Amino acid sequence: MLRIETTLVKKSTSQEQITIQSEKILREYDLCVNCLDRLSSNKHRIRSDKIGKKIRKKSTKCYICKDMFSNIQEHINKMLEISADYQFLTFHTGAILRSSYIDRDDSIRSKFQLKGTNSIKTELTRQINKRFEKKTKKKIDYQNPDITFTINFKNDSYEIRSKPIYLFGRYTKNIRDFPQKQKSCENCNGKGCVSCDQHGILNFDSVEGKISEYVFQKFGAKQAKITWIGGEDKQSLVLGKGRPFFVKLVNPKKRKIKPAKKINLEQILIFNLKIIEQIPKEPIQFKSKIGIQIVTDDKVNSSILKNLKLIKNSSIIVHEKLGRESKKIVYKLSYKKISSNSFRLDLTVDGGLPIKRFVEGNSVSPNVSQILDLQCKCKEFDFYDIEI
């Protein structure tokens, strides 16, 4: 019994202190119930409306928030409208306020030495989050929400951004004269504008374009950032299991999509496209199985071609810009003479070897032209497999 009575006394004392503090603030400032409860740490909601009726002038707006808390339902309605096409389970809301609101709030908290109270911005977003959560049955997530609302109270504008989706898949390319990468929109240099419908690209006539066009339609995304596992010439074929690639989807609307195992996009085929947690941050090591068609200025005989065996299991040094170098290992190698001045070279090599430079001798050593002591030219090269 004593313990219960002590608790009641403490609660009563706490309520009295809050009431005294509230009356003290209201004698100098007209505040709404929300701001009064917030500043007086009124967790028990001690009938602040009754305290306010005694002191506050009904004709005036709240000194701090100008009664913005009374318009929360309007913001909820707008959030429901702009999120109607989005699939999401979690959300969070941010706010942009005029500095004058924050200044008035800070001024009162400093004047009355109010500690441990929510700022006006924190309280506003807290109430909006709670109301939206109750209305939609979605969950508030402060760390990594599916979608984030930003309400700009300066100009009454609303923004919605969804968490990126990451994809992994492989593609094969069975036609020549089809580039891997798409040119950026010249108007915005790939950033996204009205001309390119915020995509960053205008056309879809490349591997990148075809993949982007598909994910735009399927996931409702605006931009697709593709990370390639190696690259190829626009004349090259990509065969076998295909070239691996990663995609970061920017601001997708759909999140519950399960693509088909095989996607036919005419010029390319996509296999096993799936949603993953994240794109690896470290560079991915891979090997490429490549077939190269080579022509020479002079006649080449079989005895000279034997010198190509020297490349097997040896290091190829690639001289990069700014004095940098990289090392590539040739694991397998075979060759076949086709005509008096042409031959085929098949090799399995570390990914990233610049094939044309390797054949023709531009800042790569040793190279095919150097080993054969003949000026060689890469006619075309195809990828038969890429292993990661």
What angle in degrees, to the nearest 10, is found between the helix axes of 72-82 and 120-136? Answer: 60
Cβ(168)–Cβ(276) under 8 Å?
A: yes
- The partner residues of 292 in beta bridges, in order of sequence, read 345, 381
| Residue among 106, 141, 233, 346 flagged as catalytic | 233
Q: How far apart are CA 108 and CA 110, in angstroms?
A: 5
Three-state DSSP state, 90: strand
Tokens representing 232 are 């190829």
Contacts of 25 (CB under 8 A, 6+ apart): 31, 36, 39, 40, 108, 112
Q: Which of 217, 224, 225 lies closest to 259 in space, CA to CA?
A: 217
Annotation says 233 is catalytic: yes
- For residue 269, which of 387, 173, 384 has the smallest C-alpha distance? 173
Tokens of 125: 């977003």
Q: How far does Cα 42 stand from its chain's mean position? A: 41
Size of the chain in residues: 388
Active site members: 233
